[in-house]
Amino acid sequence: MAKIRVGVIGAGSWALASHLPNLARHSDVEFVGVSRKGPEILQKIKDQYGFKVASEDFRDILNEGLDVCIVGSPSGFHYEHSKAALEAGAHVMCEKPMTVLPQDAWDLVETANQLKKHLVISFGWNYFDMVTGAKRLMNEYGIGTLEHISIHMSSQTRELLSNTGSYPDASPDALPESRTWTDPTLSGGGYGQAQLTHALGLSLWLTGARVESGFALMSAPMNAPVEMHDAIAYRFEGGAIGTLSGGSAHLSAHKKMHAVEMRAIGDRGQILVDLERAAVWHHIDGKETRLDLLDDAGLYDCIGPIDAIVSAGRGEEFTNESPGELGARTVEALDVAYRSAASGKLESR
């Protein structure tokens, strides 16, 4: 079997904890090149996974010729790195948020389409059985015309975003650099970029919604350099309205690191997806469906996006549950929110 030539740009804490081990599950993956800052940890990663090339310059990785590229660099670099990887001929899995600016996100979508390359965004929950089950119910039965969405997320990121600690899943070999999360020039913002992008990636995927305008309030207690809590009201294309709220919870506040709940109401029915409590409930025209789920069905991992991009590298047919256009819609929603929080006004897409 031909090997899938894989490169990694931005081998940070989450790449070490998740992406690299999940790539190593595939016997046909060849670790060709890895790029990150810090020669000592770079050499350690090279030796551990047998990368042929390790360099602080991402262009050295792309010059090796890749089938697949994992972009896990800070958010402010996603556009540059993903664009270069696509143009070098690789299928790309990009960490969330896909980009900071909407125009950059849509340019990546267009670039991938023109080059006939797959672009996968790392929305891990979208590949879970409970979420694909919810998506199937929405595709087959729907809820009629969308009228309202409410989305809430809470994560154990209080210490991370206030520069007082890390997060529970951080790799002990490479704890995250605080500035990649709390320097807006690198991260694009705080809790919204770090976490609400996940909630949006789930909710906009299930409903097909696209934000038209929004008004946001954000707060940064503990003298945090970025916002730790968000409250946003949205209007969506087609006239639906909704809310998105998110908060930085304390360590060990949840039985899982994240709590995410989405409720959508249409003119014929509604759907609930609750990841923390492992519940999916769908109602249409008086008929109710509840999925039978294990208690840990919503416990986060990012295996699905890695498996998807490996399938792309093999040339296999696969379902992209987190495509670039979805990533771009989440970037639009966050961009509206951050502009509104800064201006104190309703902002449009």
d(Cα 156, Cα 251) in Å, to the nearest integer? 5
Instruction: Please indicate whether residue 227 or residue 177 has the higher confidence score (pLDDT).
Output: 227
Residue 119, phi then psi, degrees to nearest 5: -125, 115
- Residue for token digits 């402010």? 76
Instruction: Please indicate whether residue 170 or residue 146 has the higher confidence score (pLDDT).
Output: 146
Instruction: Tell whether the model's pLDDT for residue 257 goes beyond 70.
Output: no
pTM value surpassing 0.85: yes
Instruction: Tell whether the model's pLDDT for residue 170 goes beyond 70.
Output: no
Instruction: Tell whether the model's pLDDT for residue 172 goes beyond 80.
Output: no
- C-alpha angle with apex 316: 97 to 209, nearest 5 degrees? 35
Q: Domains (ranges, CATH) in the chain? A: 4-124+304-320 (3.40.50.720), 125-300+329-348 (3.30.360.10)
Residue 176, phi then psi, degrees to nearest 5: -60, 140
Amino acid identity, position 344: G
- Residue for token digits 């995410």? 260
Amino acid identity, position 83: K
Predicted local confidence at residue 252, as pLDDT = 73
228 and 247 Cβ atoms separated by less than 8 Å: yes
Predicted local confidence at residue 251, as pLDDT = 80
d(Cα 328, Cα 235) in Å, to the nearest integer? 17
Under the banding of pLDDT at 50, 70 and 90, the label for residue 165 is confident
